[in-house]
Structure formats: structure tokens, C-alpha cells
């Protein structure tokens, strides 16, 4: 039988200076350690207080794609330039409310389902999310589009009110850490854009902050939703489109997902994936072979994203005091000093980090409020010419509660007399030369529900209401019932509504997607895709 020798002092130094520490770290000075005498010098010390990294001199390191493990420091994790976040169940705690809204939809149909019936179809888009349950329950004459429309109405009205607090703790901090590290960030979701915007607003993750009419620190460099795609997750189309929009190669993208379909889509797109167990158990997620598995998004560190694992991140979250005093869990700095001092500094670091984070939030609120106030003042000064239409008498009536507007019909006054007064006012306004003439629509624009229109030819003499909208904007959808009411009220009058579609992102410029939205929301008035011309 071979004899096992305890490692000498020199071999211990070489052991601690090996790949167990980053290459740039200095080897710690010798200090007394309690090691079993039967431990071989060729073996690695386990890192306690975190998932063990299985590395040995005679065996190769595990593949980064091995689920439930971490990539050993020094292994080839590869370059990272962008992070693609799924939304439901990851940035937003919206999976359970979505399933409950689905239950409400089927309840209106008289079909009894449970929230668990929707689990197999999570992350595959709302049409399949509802249609899959309908097929499983044998619902006849099921209309996916009408069901999806009703689903959005229920979900937005009951479960996704603005700032309702459905965001996961740590989501905003991780997004900002990624941006501060020079990474591009995007939302790549199988949900429709109307739900993406509503969820981000409900989670307190607005797409952008505007000051003086320009973006201030936009949260996301791109948002890709299901509207423009025929094949949803587990197909890789959404992730590939996000990669293209960001201008980043797929092998430099990290996907963060909670659904098995999303993990499979990331693998099909040849992207690394960090899975979180907020929706499914770890065993279920392992079927998609994610690179890493974490409990939730708050448990993901920037080092997990950049390097495939982090000592400091897991050491800070360790709850076992015995593990925190072990050699594998201690930081290099704690090995230089006394044990008590080292542990005190290590455990104190998260507190100081949180205090700094709270301080930065206060500064953001303070200066953000100041910026909004200044932007309001700037807009008021820029539009000062509009005050020429607000007479001193009108302002006095507004503040004093009076009601003597030029357009107010006086008691005993005939309707024809009021019409003549209004026409006279408009004629004087036009003859004054202060009116602004609306430019014609540029030629070669794509029109829906009508042939191309011109103000001087087709709309002359008519009152024209221009509705600037985007089919992915929830506020734009809320205006549609008001437009329909006005159209019906003045359908016999020279009045026309023209919807001017203004795309915010490249994927929203797709004419087929706009046409589907016009049909889906029953928009009957003329609509034109403005592109970048208006």
C-alpha cells in the first residue's frame, strides 16, 4: 500500500498559489492550517460555502455547459459583449399572474382550468400559452386571437398596473451593473410588445428616461418581442434577432432564462445561458443544458456573466458560519491577517455595498426630479409662442373658475349664431398669417385601409385628426376606443382620423406586423407607416 504524506510547507505554498486563485493574485503567506494527514498534495482544496468546482490535475475541467456547475477560473468562458434578458419569470414576477389571467379567460368561456395547466406552455408566446391549454382541454371553436386579446385586457387591468411591484429584487441592479461594465443589454421575450411594456412599467423598469427630449441612460439597448415573429421559443429566432439588433455575434451573447423553452432556444442560437429556478425546478432546467443555474436573478453576479462564476458573489451570500471560516471560502485578503479580522471584513463588505446602492438611488431620485423639472421649464420656454392663443381673459377664467370662453354658448343665443362666430374667429386666425400649414405626406409611404392621401387633394376642407401611434405601445391602444367614439359621432361630418404609425425600434417597422395589428385591433380609419420621414 502506498504511503500518503502530509504536504510540506513548500508544497502548500504552491497549492495555494495555483489556479485556486486568479492569476494576478499574490500567493498568500504561510499560516497554520489544519489539514488531514492523509490528503495528497496533488488534490485540490474544496471551496465550501458555494457549489464545488470539480478540478483535478489528472482530469480535465468540466464543460461550461454542464448544468448546475460553475466554470473553473482560468477555463475558457469566452468573451461577453451582450446580455439578453427574458422578461416573464425573470425580470418580472409575472408567470403566476399570467397563468391566473389565463384561468380567468377560460372561466369566461365556461371552461374550468387551473394555473398548473399552463406550466408546459410557458415561454412559448401567448397564442400557444392559451391555445395549448385549449387543445389539452378539448375546447371547440377556440379562437386564439380573440382569446389573446381578452387575455391582455384582463392581465393589464388586474395584474400589471404601473409600478405594482412585480419586479424581482436585484433585476435593476444587475442590468445597471451590466451597462456599467460596458455590456449591451436587451429584452428578448416571447410575449407581445404590449405585455412587455406593461410588465416593465409595472416592475419599475422603464425602457428609457427622457430629459430635454433626449434619452438619459436608457435601460435597454433593444427590445425584441413576439409580434414580428412566426416561430417563437424554443426556436432561436427571437434571440438571433436581438443579437442582430445589438450588432453582437451570437457567441458573445449571454441569455438569462427561467423557462425550458427559453434555455433550448438559447442553445439553438449557440448562446451561453444562465438559468434561474424561479419558475421550474433545477432538474427540469437541466434538460436544456444551461451553462449555469442560479436560484433567481438576484443571485446572479456580474462575474457570473463575465467569467462564468465568482468567489466573492457566493462568499457574500454564504449563510453557514462554519463554511465562511474555511480556507476555500476565505478571500485572499483574509488569509493575510488574523482569522477574526478577515471574517469581519468579508462579512462587512455586503453591508457597505448595499449602503452605497441605497445612496446612489437617492441621488438618482434627487437629480432625476431636478432634471424633470428643468425639462418642463425648457419645454414651456420653447413653446412660448403657443401662449399667444391663451388670452389674459382665458387665463383668468381658468384660475378663477370662470366660464366665459369665446367658444362658450351664451344663454339664449342660437346655435347658428355661435357657428358664425366660430367661423369668423377661424377666418381672422387664417388671415392673420400666424397659422402653420401642415406639410404634405411624403410620397411612397405604405398606406393601410385606403389609397395614398394628400391634404391638398383628398383632405381639403376637412377636420383631420392625426393619431401618432405604435402598435406595441399600450397607451396608444388605450386611445383607440376614444378615436372610434369620435369617428362614429362625426361620421356624417367632414371629419377624418389618420393613424400615423411611428416605429420606435427596427422590428416595429415591419409592414406585415403593422397590418396584423390593424386587423387585430379593428382599426378602420386610414393608417400610414411613417418610417423615419415624419
Report the pLDDT value the prediction gives residue 283, as an integer from 0 to 100: 93
Report the pLDDT value the prediction gives residue 58, as an integer from 0 to 100: 32
CATH number of 82-87+166-307: 3.40.50.1000
Report the pLDDT value the prediction gives residue 157, as an integer from 0 to 100: 86
Per-residue CA distances from 295 to 176, 282, 347 (Å): 20, 9, 21
Report the pLDDT value the prediction gives residue 534, as an integer from 0 to 100: 56
User: How far apart (Å, rounded) are the C-alpha atoms in residues 309 and 70?
Assistant: 6
Report the pLDDT value the prediction gives residue 334, as an integer from 0 to 100: 35
What order of strands is seen across the sheet that includes strand 495-501?
446-448, 527-529, 495-501, 463-469
Q: What is the pLDDT along the chain (534 residues), one digit of tens a residue?
A: 444 444 444 443 443 444 333 343 344 444 444 444 433 333 343 333 333 333 333 333 334 434 444 554 445 799 999 999 998 888 998 888 899 999 999 999 999 999 999 988 887 888 888 999 999 999 988 998 889 889 988 988 888 877 777 888 999 899 989 999 999 999 999 888 888 888 888 887 765 543 334 444 457 888 998 887 888 889 999 999 999 999 999 999 999 999 999 999 999 999 999 999 998 999 999 999 999 999 999 999 999 999 997 543 333 333 343 333 333 333 333 334 333 333 334 333 444 444 444 456 677 888 888 889 888 788 767 766 555 555 566 556 656 655 555 555 556 666 677 678 777 877 777 776 666 667 888 888 889 998 889 888 888 888 999 999 998 888 888 899 999 999 999 989 999 999 999 888 877 888 888 988 898 888 999 999 987 655
Q: What single DSSP character describes residue 259?
A: S
Report the pLDDT value the prediction gives residue 66, as an integer from 0 to 100: 41
Report the pLDDT value the prediction gives residue 338, as an integer from 0 to 100: 35
Q: Cα(first)–Cα(last) distance of the chain, in Å? A: 85
Report the pLDDT value the prediction gives residue 75, as an integer from 0 to 100: 53
Which residues are identified as catalytic?
86, 88
Report the pLDDT value the prediction gives residue 59, as an integer from 0 to 100: 33
* 14 sits in which H/E element: helix 9-16
Report the pLDDT value the prediction gives residue 417, as an integer from 0 to 100: 76
Q: Does domain 447-529 have CATH number 3.40.640.10?
A: no
C-alpha closest to that of 500 among 482, 514, 489: 514
| pTM value surpassing 0.85 | no
Report the pLDDT value the prediction gives residue 466, as an integer from 0 to 100: 93
C-alpha closest to that of 442 among 529, 339, 511: 529
User: How far apart (Å, rounded) are the C-alpha atoms in residues 445 and 499?
Assistant: 13
Amino acid at each position: 500500500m502506498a504511503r500518503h504524506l502530509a504536504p510540506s510547507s513548500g508544497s502548500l505554498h504552491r497549492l495555494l498559489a495555483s489556479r485556486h486563485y486568479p492569476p494576478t493574485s499574490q500567493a498568500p503567506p504561510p499560516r497554520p492550517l489544519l489539514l488531514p494527514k492523509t490528503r495528497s498534495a496533488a488534490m485540490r482544496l474544496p471551496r465550501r460555502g458555494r457549489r464545488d468546482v470539480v478540478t483535478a490535475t489528472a482530469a480535465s475541467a468540466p464543460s461550461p455547459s454542464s448544468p448546475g456547475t460553475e466554470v473553473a477560473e482560468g477555463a475558457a468562458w469566452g468573451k461577453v459583449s451582450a446580455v439578453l434578458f427574458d422578461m416573464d419569470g425573470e425580470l418580472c414576477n409575472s408567470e403566476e399572474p399570467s397563468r391566473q389571467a389565463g384561468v380567468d379567460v377560460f372561466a369566461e368561456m365556461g371552461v374550468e382550468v387551473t394555473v398548473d395547466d399552463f406550466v408546459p406552455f410557458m415561454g412559448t408566446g401567448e397564442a400557444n400559452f392559451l391555445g395549448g391549454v385549449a387543445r389539452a382541454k378539448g375546447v371547440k371553436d377556440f379562437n386564439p386571437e380573440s382569446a389573446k386579446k381578452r387575455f391582455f385586457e384582463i392581465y393589464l387591468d388586474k395584474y400589471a398596473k404601473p409600478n405594482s411591484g412585480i419586479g424581482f429584487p436585484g433585476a435593476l441592479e444587475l442590468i445597471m451593473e451590466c451597462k456599467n461594465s460596458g455590456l449591451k443589454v436587451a429584452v428578448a421575450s416571447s410575449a407581445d410588445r404590449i405585455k412587455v411594456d406593461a410588465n416593465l412599467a409595472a416592475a419599475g423598469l422603464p425602457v428609457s428616461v427622457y430629459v430635454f427630449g433626449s434619452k438619459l441612460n436608457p435601460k435597454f439597448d433593444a427590445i425584441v418581442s413576439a409580434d414580428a415573429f412566426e416561430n417563437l421559443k424554443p426556436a432561436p429566432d427571437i434571440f438571433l434577432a436581438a443579437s442582430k439588433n445589438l450588432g453582437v455575434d451570437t457567441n458573445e451573447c449571454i441569455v438569462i432564462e427561467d423557462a425550458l423553452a427559453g434555455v433550448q432556444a438559447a442553445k439553438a442560437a449557440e448562446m451561453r445561458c444562465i438559468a434561474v429556478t424561479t419558475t421550474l425546478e433545477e432538474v427540469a432546467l437541466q434538460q436544456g443544458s444551461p451553462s449555469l443555474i442560479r436560484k433567481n436573478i438576484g443571485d446572479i453576479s456580474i462575474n457570473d456573466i463575465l467569467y462564468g462564476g465568482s468567489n466573492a458573489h457566493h462568499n457574500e451570500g454564504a449563510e453557514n458560519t462554519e463554511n465562511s471560516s474555511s480556507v476555500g471560502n476565505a478571500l485572499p485578503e483574509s488569509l493575510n491577517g488574523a482569522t477574526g479580522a478577515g471574517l469581519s471584513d468579508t462579512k462587512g463588505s455586503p453591508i457597505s455595498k448595499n449602503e452605497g446602492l441605497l445612496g446612489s438611488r437617492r441621488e438618482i431620485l434627487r437629480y432625476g426630479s431636478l432634471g424633470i423639472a428643468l425639462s418642463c421649464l425648457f419645454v414651456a420656454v420653447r413653446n412660448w409662442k403657443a401662449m399667444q392663443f391663451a388670452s389674459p381673459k382665458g387665463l383668468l377664467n381658468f384660475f378663477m373658475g370662470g366660464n366665459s370662453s369665446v367658444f362658450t354658448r351664451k344663454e339664449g343665443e342660437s346655435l347658428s349664431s355661435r357657428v358664425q362666430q366660430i367661423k369668423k374667429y377661424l377666418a381672422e386666425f387664417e388671415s392673420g398669417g400666424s397659422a402653420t400649414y401642415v406639410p404634405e405626406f411624403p410620397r411612397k409611404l405604405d398606406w393601410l385601409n385606403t389609397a395614398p392621401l394628400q391634404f391638398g387633394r383628398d383632405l381639403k376642407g376637412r377636420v383631420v385628426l392625426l393619431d401618432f401611434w405604435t402598435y406595441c405601445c399600450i397607451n396608444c391602444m388605450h386611445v383607440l376606443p376614444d378615436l372610434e367614439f369620435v369617428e362614429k359621432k362625426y361620421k356624417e361630418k367632414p371629419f377624418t382620423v389618420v393613424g400615423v404609425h411611428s416605429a420606435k425600434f427596427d422590428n416595429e417597422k415591419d409592414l406585415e406586423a403593422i397590418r396584423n395589428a390593424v386587423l387585430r385591433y379593428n382599426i378602420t380609419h386610414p393608417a400610414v407607416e411613417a418610417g423615419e420621414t415624419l
